[in-house]
Every structure is written in structure tokens, then in C-alpha cells.
Amino acid sequence: MRCSAQGRMGSFVITEPLVVGHESAGEVVQAGSAVTRLKEGDRVALEPGLPCWSHKMSREGRYNLDPNIKFFSLPPVHGALRKFVDHPADFCFKLPDCLTFEQGALVEPLSIAGLMMLAAAKAFSASSVAITDIRPGNLPVAQTLGAKFALDQSKAVSTAENVEAIRAVFPEGPDIVIDCVGFSSTITTALQAVASGGTVVQVGLGEDTCCAPTMQTVFKEINFTGSWLYTNTFPLCISLLEEGKIQTEPLITHRLGFSEEEILKGFQIASTSATTGAIKVMFSW
């Protein structure tokens, strides 16, 4: 949404019309002659990032860091919000019969995004998870997904208040903080709230340049790291969904068709989520 609305995200700049969408699942309508793992009619989730495989990072298995990666809807690569996509079989993952196309489309955000990180943390037996949000309407969903503490930060006027709220439920600070927003204020909150010796992971891409108290990483010996895309997560995520360890239904707030009118309506709903309550808007045809 950010790239579509602002025309850029970091060094990725939209300079010409671009098909968006990178969370997708579909049916194989034709397979290449050399493809043996998939056949026509198979239902698949599409991993949207295609590395060049010649770069050092790809050869080391960290293909998400390949600077030549081609990722759906990151300019100039067209995304998946279209009826047909030509995609390598190695990045198409077959869905079990028990999973729907909607669940297949949510494999990608399960690998990386927001409330899905909460669901993943619980699936991996995190004993106590808190989530903060400035939109109170999102908090019941967080609790449904397993948050022990759902902290309404809509009235907080400073990072100090945010930290105080987190420390009220984790007196020594949480061991791990994942910032899914990426603004100066949220990174500051994360660094100040996390326990000494803890870990802060920045996933959100809110601002290109942030100001934060990085001296905290020294005084508290914080492991502060970023997380960009993902590698080899789709089989695991599909397995978690198949085993029922993660529920996706609470995340889908709106369902629309695939006509131009419906797609425009869906993006309007998603871009005004503060009033529409949108979390995941799903397009199907």
C-alpha cells in the first residue's frame, strides 16, 4: 500500500504504470515441459521474490538479500493482481486440499507481516505475547490470535507512555520486540522497552530515515537487527496452516471480486482502514 500510495518505498520508485499485489495463490493452468512437480489444476501459493542466483547472497542461501531480486510489485516488476502470472515452478508451492485459496494467499504475510507475526510467535510456543496498536479496533483480533496483552496506545502522547505500558506487563522488559511499523517513535519505544540483553527486530518500513536512541544498544547490549523479506518459509507456513496452528479467518475483514470497480473499492477500503476497520482485503475471481 505504501509503495502504491506514495509512488516509492526506499530506493524502489514507480516511474510507470505498475501492477501491484504480492500476496497471492492460484491454480496452475499450464506447466512447462520440464516441470515435473506441478501439473495443470494444482492449487499453489506463489512466493513473490525471484533471485538471480548468481549473486553471493543467493549462493549462500540468503536469496532475500540478493540485490538483483525481482519481487512482485516492487518497481519495475509487475505484481500478481492479475488473472494470469508466469512464475517459476520452484517458487510455486502446492496447497493441501484442506487449505483454501485465501489461506494460500496469506502464506506470504505469514512469512513476514504484522498480526501474522503474533500468530507465528504463538505457533512456536511463545509463552507471553503483547501487542500494541494505535487502532483499538485491531486489538480484539490480536487477542483472538493469542495475544496475552493487547495494549491500546491510541491515547499515548509520548514514547515514554508507550514504554510505561509495555513495562507494566513486562516489568523487566520483553525479551524480544518486533517493530512492524518502522517509525522513529516505534523504534525508540522498542529500544527503551526491551529487556537488557534482549533483541529488537525491525520489520516495518515506515520511514526511510529514523532517529532513535541507539546508545541503548550499547548500555543494554541489545541485539538490534533488520529483517528483509524471507527465505524458504513457504513450506513451513503451509504446514502451520495445514495443522491448524494458525488461524487466518479473523484477519480477512473484506472480500471483493476481480472487476475494476471491485478492485478500486478494495483499495479505497484498505487505504482508509482507520475508519473501515480493514485488516486484510481479499480479491477473488
Q: To 5 degrees, how large is the angle CA 138–CA 140–CA 145?
A: 95
Instruction: Note the pLDDT tens digit of each residue in 245-282.
Output: 999 999 999 999 999 999 999 999 999 998 999 999 99
Start-to-end CA distance of the chain, whole Å, equals 21
Residue 134 clears pLDDT 70, i.e. is over it? yes
DSSP element (H, E) containing 179: strand 176-179
Q: How many CB atoms lie within 10 A of CB 240?
A: 18
The predicted pLDDT at position 64 comes to 97
Q: What is the reported pLDDT for 114? A: 85
Given this model, what pLDDT does residue 285 score? Answer: 85
Grid-cell match 476481480, residue found:
258
* DSSP H or E segment with residue 283: strand 280-283
Q: For 40-98, how does the pLDDT look when each residue is reduced to its tens digit (9 = 90+)?
A: 999 999 999 999 999 999 999 999 999 999 999 999 999 999 999 999 999 999 999 99
pLDDT category, 11, cuts 50, 70, 90? confident
pTM, two decimal places: 0.93
Buried b (16+ CB within 10 A) or exposed e, 138-160: bbebbeebbbebbbebeebeebe
Q: Is the pLDDT of residue 3 over 70?
A: no
- Taking only the tens place, the pLDDT of each residue in 153-165 is 999 889 999 999 9
At residue 118, the pLDDT reads 95
> Which pLDDT value is given to residue 87?
97
Strands 149-152, 130-133: pairing is parallel
Task: In whole angstroms, give the CA distance from residue 231 to residue 227.
Answer: 11
User: Helices marked H in the chain — which ranges?
Assistant: 2-6, 56-59, 101-105, 107-110, 114-123, 139-144, 159-169, 184-193, 216-219, 234-242, 260-271, 273-276
Q: For 184-233, what is each residue's pLDDT tens digit?
A: 999 999 999 999 999 999 999 999 899 999 999 999 999 999 999 999 99
User: For residue 5, what pLDDT is reported?
Assistant: 63
Average pLDDT, the chain: 94
